[in-house]
Amino acid sequence: MTFELQHTDDASDARAGVITTDHGQILTPIFMPVGTEGAVKAVHFDELREEIKAQIILGNTYHLYLRPGLDVLRAAGGLHGFNGWERPILTDSGGFQVFSLTGIRKLSEEGCEFRSHIDGSKHFFTPENVMDTERIIGADIMMALDECPPGLSDYTYAKNSLAMTQRWLDRCIKRFDATEPLYGYRQSLFPIVQGCTYKDLRVEAAKFVADKGADGNAIGGLAVGEPTEVMYEMIEVVNAILPKDKPRYLMGVGTPQNILEAIERGVDMFDCVMPTRNGRNAMLFTYEGTMNMRNKKWETDFSPLDEGGCHIDRVTTKAYLHHLFKAKELLAMQIASIHNLAFYLRLVTDARQHIIAGDFTKWKASVIDQLGRRR
């Protein structure tokens, strides 16, 4: 994987670049739809390609390991062969999911024992077997196994957690370097910067990760309950240290406002379940603010969902989508999910264009307040 930094904003740390993988190029800044179990909820790959303009999607190691399982994925030639998505894929290591299983997991230096949320069966993740699992899944970008501590962890817990994450990273790198891709194309490993909201721990973590010389780097453990201003401060602290010539991935973030603020601070890659999760619950994101499509005010509004949006936005009226949600039609969730993902991709594409044009900061200031307004 290579990364070419093409443009930088004079008034901020915003950047535009291009990531090149064996499955294609990714223009940054980029938003990556979340396909946890090999599919983006309620959205077909044709819509991802044509309507949403997705360039890369995510899969999750924990969920894919449990179902369909590694034997099926290997027989299919990896996740690309299994689901037919021919563009780049990134896999999360599953660490966040495992550590969210409060009460049914045990953490140790060796790894993490956990019980499946599906059938209660017992499993064990180590840095080594997670690397092996991600080789079998075959994503273009693999994430290292880390512990994502609770956002309000005390300093001692956060420090000890970070130390173990760093030891695990060394084991991940050793295993990654000792193994080969299985399907004839290259894979990259991204380390993850942790450290909660403690500046000194984030500095230590960023330096440790930067020294590894990986193809790209991720920032984890944010947007987990801390104030947004603290999140932005931690991004600034970390990005002042991470290499400028490698892509930076902010994991699990967030709202449209969060994304623009992070782009301004030098982040290149994003993912979040919010567009599809909120869409399934009738919330639409637009440049004019958010819309709750169950509200009666849309009942006789026959204007398009979004005049400047994708094709589905222009041919679907607000009144029709309101009706679909009130009638509990599955089509409502599909249309809303497509709209939200297309809007997120439009947002980062517009940001890229304004970075290239040299007026990103001015454009961002003109739209950011409106993005959070309730319509």
Which residue's structure tokens are 């201003």?
229
Which residues lie below 8 Å from residue 305, measured CB to CB, with a gap of 6+?
284, 312, 313, 314, 316, 317, 318, 321, 335, 339
| Residue 94 is assigned to a ligand binding site | yes
Identify whether the C-beta of residue 262 lies closer than 8 Å to the C-beta of residue 250. Answer: yes
| Residue 81 is assigned to a ligand binding site | no
d(CA 79, CA 85): 8
| Residue 221 is assigned to a ligand binding site | yes
DSSP letter for each residue of 191-215: -EE--TT-HHHHHHHHHHHHTT--S
| Residue 187 is assigned to a ligand binding site | no
| Residue 96 is assigned to a ligand binding site | yes
E strand residue ranges, 140-247: 141-143, 188-190, 192-193, 217-219
- Give the H or E element holding residue 59: strand 57-60
What backbone phi and psi angles, to 5 degrees, belong to 341? -65, -40
What backbone phi and psi angles, to 5 degrees, belong to 103? 95, -20
| Residue 93 is assigned to a ligand binding site | yes
| Residue 95 is assigned to a ligand binding site | yes
Which residue among 9, 271, 306, 350 is the active-site one?
A: 271
| Residue 154 is assigned to a ligand binding site | no
Identify whether the C-beta of residue 36 lies closer than 8 Å to the C-beta of residue 272. Answer: no
Max distance between CA atoms of the chain, in angstroms, equals 62
Q: Is 245 a catalytic residue?
A: no
DSSP 8-class letter at 12: S
Q: Is 92 a catalytic residue?
A: yes
The upper half-sphere exposure of residue 316, i.e. CA atoms within 13 Å in the direction of its Cβ, equals: 21
d(CA 336, CA 280): 7
Task: Please tell me whether residue 292 adopts helix, strand or coil conformation.
Answer: strand
Which residue among 9, 13, 92, 140 is the active-site one?
A: 92
Alpha-carbon dihedral angle through residues 159, 163, 169, 174, given to the nearest 10 degrees: 180
List active site positions.
Answer: 92, 271
Residue list for the binding site: 92-96, 146, 194, 221
**Binding-site positions for substrate:** 92-96, 146, 194, 221
